[in-house]
Amino acid sequence: ADPDPLQDFCVADLSASTSVNGFLCKSASKVSSDNFFFDGLSKEGNTSNIFGSTVTAANVLSFPGLNTLGSSINRVDFAIGGVNPPHSHPRSTETDLVISGQVLVGFVTTGNVYFSKVLTAGQIFVIPRGLVHFQKNVGPGKALIFTTFNSQLPGAAVVPLNLFASTPSIPNDVLTKTFQVGDDVVNSIKSKFGS
């Protein structure tokens, strides 16, 4: 979903003080093979958090060689029972590939139709751009998936954090009216996310 490049590559200079739609290019004479290499997805992520999952991202911010290339990839590790909570990517379609374990992947359309599948190693599921989706480890052990994107920086709007952990907070009366619950429920949810 990113624009087409106007040159072979444009390794991002993340330290430049200005940028346009993306990042400025590092001078080509300073580009080496290492700029097209990233080792950050080789290690298991730490899943000791309330969701029991962790996303390790190879996007333009962690891997500047992706700048202008319209591509990125995440590694997502799951503890037993772990969930990657409902979220959406405003700039990208996502393809999920299971490496190990059994993972329930689901998304919901703008018409509130739910599509889902339990996947095992080697199987893939596609999440259309912008739609709310999640994954849950439904197997007996840990699980590992890789997720690929047609954007250098898909962005992730994580529904529970958007609604209950924003800075500043969404006013409680908006959330109580929206979800038809009392302040106690909203405060309890907010407290789970440390806000």
Closer residue to ligand GLV in complex, CB, 132/175:
132
| Distance between first and last Cα of the chain | 34
Kindly tell me the burial class for residue 97, based on how many C-beta atoms sit within 10 Å of its own C-beta (0-12, 13-18, 19 or more).
Answer: middle
> Interface with ligand GLV includes 144 (CB under 6 A)?
no
Task: Mark 83-102 with x for binding to Mn ion (rule: CB under 5 A) and - for no binding.
Answer: -----------x--------
Closer residue to Mn ion in complex, CB, 90/171:
90
Closer residue to Mn ion in complex, CB, 146/193:
146
Q: Which does 189 bind (CB under 5 to 8 A by kind): Mn ion, ligand GLV, none?
A: none
DSSP-derived secondary structure for 103-159: EEEEEE-TT--EEEEEE-TT-EEEE-TT-EEEEEE-SSS-EEEEEEESSS----EEH
Q: What is the size of the binding site for ligand GLV (CB under 6 A)?
A: 9
Closer residue to ligand GLV in complex, CB, 134/164:
134
d(CA 87, CA 128): 12
- Residues at the contact surface with ligand GLV, assessed by CB under 6 A: 55, 74, 76, 84, 94, 133, 135, 147, 156
